[in-house]
Amino acid sequence: MSYLEHVWIIEAPQPSFVLDRVLVRISIAADMTLLRMLSVTYCAKRSHKALYPREPSCVKDLNGIEANATKSVVTDMMQDAAQSLLQLVGAKGYRLDHIAGRATVDSRPFQIFEGSNDILYQQISEAVLKLMRQAKETNLLQFLRGYDLTARASDYLKGLLDFEVDLKIPQRKLVNLGKALGRIVTMEMVLKLGDRGFRSDLIANGLSMLQHEVTGLLSTYQAESRILAVNDYERDGSWLALVTR
């Protein structure tokens, strides 16, 4: 029985939860469908490069952006889908023999080994900013339109990407920007999969979901952060003293 088939046989204990559970099922289905699409694309690309290592297209991604984006985005989606399933089934998911608990535990290491995802997202940002400096370009949309890994996908996000990038940004912002860039690279892969004849409705759903994620990530990236480290926070910083009065 497949991952999704396990999801669909779960019965809602109360009628009032039916809608919420259906929405969660749809979310999991979307995650897993896009995950499978990306896996097919990535495997095909790896196989092609193994068979034709001298082909010029094999050396376009010298900065590792494509590999980092694939690994980080796909493994984050694995964990998100597993967490959604665990929320759906509730306490039963913590049983050792239940797929929800196993999926949550087994998918987590993939976000860490071969480079933790936050570090990979930072590396994606650093690589793109390096290329932008070399091209003497500060507008993100203009750069991504001319970059092979994002040329078509960037047109789906014109309004979001049309801003000037500070080429010297803090690490926290690098991670947020890298998450968005990773998903834009992923959108390009999905578009190329559609060119090969994959189902158009699934391609459209995948692009829509990725656009939604990029919108949220870029909003976080562009938001002004006024959070500062507080020294000597232990002095008058205990909420327990207020509760026990």
Q: pLDDT tens digit string along 58-69?
A: 445 567 899 999
Pairwise pLDDT comparison (13 vs 163), residue with the higher score: 163
Looking at residue 230, what is its pLDDT? 82
User: Residue 80 is encoded by which pair of tokens?
Assistant: 């998100």
Greatest mean pLDDT among 28-42, 75-89, 229-243 lies in 75-89
Residue 225 phi/psi, 5-degree rounding, is -105, 120
> What are the Cα distances from residue 77, in Å, to 8, 15, 37?
19, 29, 12
How many domains are contained in the chain? 1
Average pLDDT over residues 180-189: 96
d(CA 94, CA 61): 41
Average pLDDT over residues 198-209: 92
Check residue 183 and give its pLDDT.
Answer: 96
Amino acid at 97: D
**pLDDT band for position 139 (cuts 50, 70, 90):** very high
**Residue 164 belongs to a domain:** yes
More confident residue, 122 or 14: 122
Q: Is the pLDDT of residue 43 over 80?
A: no
User: Is 232 part of any domain?
Assistant: no
**Token pair recorded at residue 71:** 């690994």
Asked if the model's pLDDT at residue 124 lies above 50, the reply is yes
Tell me, yes or no, whether 242 lies in a domain.
no
Above 60 in pLDDT, residue 162?
yes
Q: Does residue 137 belong to any structural domain of this protein?
A: yes
Residue 201 lies in a domain: yes
Q: Please list the alpha-helical segments (H only) found in the chain.
A: 3-8, 18-51, 65-89, 99-107, 117-135, 140-145, 158-161, 171-195, 200-222, 240-243
- 139-144 long-range contacts (CB < 8 A, ≥24 apart) are 139/163, 139/164, 139/165, 140/164, 140/165, 144/184
How much is the pLDDT for 9? 37
Query: Does 240 fall in a domain?
Result: no
* In-domain check, residue 147: yes
Domain range for 18 is 3-222
